[in-house]
Amino acid sequence: MTDTARTTTPAPSEVLPAISVRAAGKIFTVAKGAEVQALTGIDLTVAPGEFVSLIGPSGCGKSTLLRLIADLDSATSGEILVFGKTARQARLDQEYGIAFQSAGLLPWRSVQANIELPLELHGVGKAERAARAEELIELVGLTDFRSRFPDQLSGGMQQRVAIARSLAERPKLLLMDEPFGALDEMTRERMQQELVRICSETGAAVVFVTHSIPEAVFLSDRVVVMSPRPGRIVDIVSVDLGAGTSRSDSLRENPAFFAGVTAVREALHGSPVAPLGADLR
């Protein structure tokens, strides 16, 4: 079933995929030698510039898959290539930017200094750092807050700083692990809209972990639906809602959006979802 969904992406011979996962599995060894199969038989290809969401219930391994791609954990089996390199080499070459559920800003650094951190670590000169930070601060709409410290910002603002930081080195791939999970619904919708805009402006491919169906549908070109015990991909739903720039708030009331939400829900529940009033869970 994953094969049919992958036909939309170009063949590797034409364009080098941003991510190519082949038969990847991950086994965690827990206490007393017991093993937990976190992921099994994962096949996934993400094209350059494509926005792909990973969705599924807790324990389905969606965060683990992201961590494998980021080389924060290593796969026990299979192959993971990022722009044709191993995940490890891709990390060493700084091929991706990453954002987590909590913003993870350094409390002793100002907004600007936080955004400059990756550049600073990689020896970018001061003037160039400042110029890049300036661009990004403008991109995420925090111009008046550049010299504030993280404890003086709201949760949404902190997350914007984290996104700006993940974009600092112009990565062609963004990995995001529930970056809006801790935000309230209104902030969340605004951040989603900004994210689709930012992503289509930068042209980066995105792997976005979430457990919100509307969020996944609103943001993505494709939604990867996962299921737990063991963590695996059960379906990949293509969402055709147009380019990121054209996705605005009104899209949330669009029939195509609802169709996408329904398709993802059905894939998650494994059967056609009953009409309103008869929830079959």
Query: What are the residues binding another protein (CB under 8 A)?
Result: 70-72, 91-92, 94, 96, 98, 100, 102-108, 117-118, 120-122, 149-153, 155, 158-159, 182
Q: Is 139 left (phi over 0), alpha (psi -120 to 50) or beta?
A: alpha
Q: Which is nearer to another protein, 91 or 190 (CB)?
A: 91
Q: How far is the CB of 118 from another protein (least distance, A)?
A: 5
Helices (H), the chain: 2-6, 62-69, 87-92, 111-121, 126-139, 155-167, 185-202, 213-219, 255-269
Q: Please provide the distance, in angstroms rounded to a whole number, between the alpha carbons at the two ends of the chain.
A: 24
Q: How far is the CB of 46 from another protein (least distance, A)?
A: 18
Coil vs helix vs strand at 248:
coil
Write the burial class of residue 272 (CB in 10 Å: 0-12 exposed, 13-18 middle, 19+ buried).
exposed
Coil vs helix vs strand at 208:
strand
Q: How far is the CB of 219 from another protein (least distance, A)?
A: 21
Q: Which is nearer to another protein, 120 or 194 (CB)?
A: 120
Q: Which is nearer to another protein, 153 or 261 (CB)?
A: 153
DSSP secondary-structure letter at 281?
-
Helix axes 126-139 and 111-121, enclosed angle (nearest 10): 130
Q: Which is nearer to another protein, 103 or 267 (CB)?
A: 103
Q: How far is the CB of 169 from another protein (least distance, A)?
A: 9
Q: Which is nearer to another protein, 15 or 106 (CB)?
A: 106
Q: How far is the CB of 107 from another protein (least distance, A)?
A: 4
What is the maximal distance between C-alpha atoms in the chain? 61
